[in-house]
Amino acid sequence: MTLQKPDKTKVRQITRRAGLLLGGQVMFMGVLGWRMRDLGVKQNAQFRLLAEENRINIQLVPPTRGLIYDRQGRLIANNIPQYRVQMVREQIKAPEVILDRLAQLIPISPKQHDHVLSLMKRRRSWVPVTVAEDLTWEHIAAVAANAPALPGVTPVVGSYREYIYPHEYSHIVGYVGPVSDYDLSKTDDDDPVLRIPRFQIGKNGIEAKIEKQLRGIAEIKRIEVNSVGRVMRDLDRKAGASGKNIQITIDTELQTAALKRIQGESAAAVVIDVRNGDILALASAPTYDPNKFVTGISTTDWNALLNNKYRPLANKTVSGTYPPGSTYKMVVALAALEAGITDGNDHVNCKGYVEVYKQRFHCWRRGGHGKVDMVRALRESCDVYFYDIAQKVGIEKISDVARRLGLGVRHDLPLPAVHKGLAPTKAWKRKTKGKDWRVGDTLNAGIGQGYTLSSPLQLALMAARLGAGTQIEPRLINSIGDELLPIKGNIPLDFDPKHLDIVRRGMFEVVNHARGTARGSRITLPGVKMAGKTGTSQVKRITASERKRGVIRNADLPWERRDHALFVAFAPHDNPKYAISVIVEHGGGGSKAAAPIARDIMQAALLLDDTGYGAMPSQKRRTDDPDEQTPHIISTKTDPV
């Protein structure tokens, strides 16, 4: 057998490949060795801690919730200390045993005992469960002293909300409450602080609407703990921030006076500064105590509020909408003047009713007012006059003027259920009712009945715009943190000043003329006069047969069938500062029920010390002070109108 000599070319190829492979292996081993040295030497301490995962905890330091002040700098929503005890299931081998030990130190009822065990089974193992809250310092000290025998148990010093003027601000500030699974289900907010059990968030009012600014940002810490849970050292931390303080435009003294004046009624009162739109009072009665909601309201208390026919939970100032009655007549008058239908001096003969298509529309005064011009029609609230000019001007122009005066418009306020009201149009009725607009609808709108709806806030704003002649916007928040919120819309109304003067003169005579419907509610302060308008909105329709046999007096009807009483005004009439609206649900005539209330509240407003905003305490509050917050472990019509 003859041996062949190796091919030199192939040998060189094999040798080159082997060299490349060997070089690659050497390089790989070098990189691997360098990386092992880096991990094993340079980063040894860090990875030793990470390897001992059960010794590393992530902590959240809940932020201090922002405080709320009134316009004078009075504190109205505060934070006070609260002591509670929590357990983390992943750190406990026998939860039942630990709970039994804990029950010897703090009060734990059998019901609480079972509830805590149930929560531990439902929640993730690292999520803390609150065992007991509202404890005393002695309870917390006893738990801390027995910490070695209570693995997984943490005493927590937190805070909860306190409302200093609970009834005065229940409908404005609202309240906070423990975050619930329902709250989490309806929000896209992924802030980890919301997963802290019993963490308090805004549930209603300003507390809810400005929740994120009030809440602040939690501090996040990674810590090393020993076998009994004692903190050995901080590994790293991400700074948090306290919630921002808020100053609102409400004056507590005036708010208290307004609420006291409508006490005992189902009513609402709104006072606005006509110079800048600041809301000085926003009173809705009856009220409730928001402090009961902070830690969870009882079923008994909740049912009592829910079943009260006077609706104490409703903020009637912004969510209540009512037919504005004769307070709407300024809208109709201004629409007619702007449309050139009348110059205000034309007369209409009121004989007690007007007949349109064989249907009678009655005036509140059965015998009529005789010949009336616009000022007298406003002064004595002649319905027939406004039936006449409403029919001539038409619903579209009436509703356009209403919106320009702030009616039928949803105003941007940090409150829940701010209703838009309704300034109806032909298109609206066709769309919502499936019917065409009728002449009778226009006549009803002419006296603020039918489909027209307004809230007390909107009516106060209407009075403010008429008094000031500017497009002011309602304003409830003065500042958030160090940021002052701007004043909006303080520009002249797009109405002829002469037309505004005619309407104002009519409102002046409502209160100050001998025949004015609110003559009995004149302001008693020397040199000050008020301009206003009474209103009565019917709750039930008066039938023809009832008119024949005699209309039943409001006082003789069940409460829920009586007319609503309304009054709007501004003062002083010649240099307006404040505007007001009052509604007394089922109160009867506006001149008897609402006007006296409005007069008293307006006088209180005029007597205020008008010095602007008071100073608030410093916004600077430490978030890195261990004594301020305790970290939270998240992981090992028949009356005058």
At 95, the pLDDT band (50, 70, 90 cuts) reads confident
With a cut of 80, say whether residue 277 has pLDDT above it: yes
Residue 2, classed as helix, strand or coil, is: coil
CA distance 388 to 68: 50
Q: Is residue 69 part of a domain?
A: yes
How many helices (H) and strands (E) the chain has is answered by 22, 22
**The predicted structure's pLDDT at residue 9:** 64
**The predicted structure's pLDDT at residue 11:** 56
How far CA 590 is from CA of 230, 584, 586, in Å, comes to 69, 8, 10
- Where among 248, 268, 293 does a domain terminate? 248
Cβ distance 235 to 56 under 8 Å? yes
- Where among 192, 215, 248 does a domain terminate? 248
Indicate if 194 and 244 belong to the same structural domain.
yes
CA distance 594 to 50: 71
Angle at 123 between CA 122 and CA 125, to 5 degrees: 120
**The predicted structure's pLDDT at residue 20:** 72
Q: Is residue 612 part of a domain?
A: no
Indicate if 368 and 453 belong to the same structural domain.
yes
At 622, the pLDDT band (50, 70, 90 cuts) reads very low
| Residue 567 neighbours by CB distance under 10 Å | 35
Q: Is residue 462 part of a domain?
A: yes
**The predicted structure's pLDDT at residue 94:** 86
- Residue bearing tokens 């919301």: 194
Q: Is residue 624 part of a domain?
A: no
**The predicted structure's pLDDT at residue 45:** 56
Closest CA to 452 of 410, 419, 407, 411: 407
Indicate if 398 and 385 belong to the same structural domain.
yes
With a cut of 80, say whether residue 35 has pLDDT above it: no
Indicate if 236 and 197 belong to the same structural domain.
yes
Type of residue found at 130:
T
| Three state DSSP letters for 296-364 | CCCHHHHHHHHCCCCCCCCCCCCCCCECCHHHHHHHHHHHHHHHCCCCCCCCEEECCEEEECCEEEECC
Q: Is residue 45 part of a domain?
A: no
Q: Is residue 639 part of a domain?
A: no
- Where among 226, 248, 270 does a domain terminate? 248
CA distance 548 to 550: 6
Indicate if 506 and 559 belong to the same structural domain.
yes
Concatenated DSSP letters of 458-473: HHHHHHHHHHH-B---
Helix ranges (H only) for 558-611 are: 595-606
**The predicted structure's pLDDT at residue 379:** 98
CATH number, domain containing residue 78: 3.90.1310.10
The sign one gets for the Cα dihedral 337, 341, 347, 350 is negative
CA distance 179 to 74: 28
Burial of 609: CB neighbours in 10 Å, binned 0-12, 13-18, 19+: exposed
CA distance 259 to 265: 10
With a cut of 60, say whether residue 624 has pLDDT above it: no
- What is the percent of the chain with per-residue pLDDT over 90, rounded to a whole number? 58
Token readout for 169 is 């601000």
Indicate if 201 and 289 belong to the same structural domain.
no
How far CA 6 is from CA of 17, 94, 557, in Å, comes to 17, 77, 124
Query: Between 139 and 501, where is the model more confident?
Result: 501
pTM: 0.81
Indicate if 288 and 302 belong to the same structural domain.
yes
Least confident of 227-236, 237-246, 298-307, 323-332: 227-236
Indicate if 281 and 269 belong to the same structural domain.
yes
Cβ distance 283 to 583 under 8 Å? no
For 306-341, letters b (16+ CB in 10 Å) and e give eeeeebbbbbbbbbbbbbbbbbbbbbbbbbbbbbeb
Indicate if 240 and 311 belong to the same structural domain.
no
- Residue bearing tokens 């109108």: 641
CA distance 550 to 108: 67
The β-bridge relationship of strands 68-69 and 246-248 is parallel
CA distance 522 to 571: 11
Domain count for the chain, please give it.
2
Residue 65: domain span: 57-248
Burial of 615: CB neighbours in 10 Å, binned 0-12, 13-18, 19+: exposed
- Residue bearing tokens 């497009």: 471
HSE (CB half, 13 Å, CA atoms) of 609? 7
CATH number, domain containing residue 406: 3.40.710.10
CA distance 261 to 54: 62
Q: Is residue 14 part of a domain?
A: no
Closest CA to 336 of 365, 377, 369, 366: 377
CA distance 215 to 231: 27
Indicate if 533 and 438 belong to the same structural domain.
yes
CA distance 640 to 381: 8
At 640, the pLDDT band (50, 70, 90 cuts) reads very low
At 2, the pLDDT band (50, 70, 90 cuts) reads low
Cβ distance 420 to 430 under 8 Å? no
Q: Is residue 20 part of a domain?
A: no
Indicate if 181 and 264 belong to the same structural domain.
no
With a cut of 80, say whether residue 232 has pLDDT above it: no
At 209, the pLDDT band (50, 70, 90 cuts) reads very high
Cα torsion 352, 355, 356, 358 to 10°: value is 150
At 470, the pLDDT band (50, 70, 90 cuts) reads very high
Question: What's the whole-number mean pLDDT along residues 216-241?
Answer: 72
Indicate if 314 and 434 belong to the same structural domain.
yes
With a cut of 90, say whether residue 323 has pLDDT above it: yes
Q: What is the DSSP code (8-state) at residue 416?
A: T
With a cut of 70, say whether residue 228 has pLDDT above it: no
**The predicted structure's pLDDT at residue 39:** 64
**The predicted structure's pLDDT at residue 631:** 45
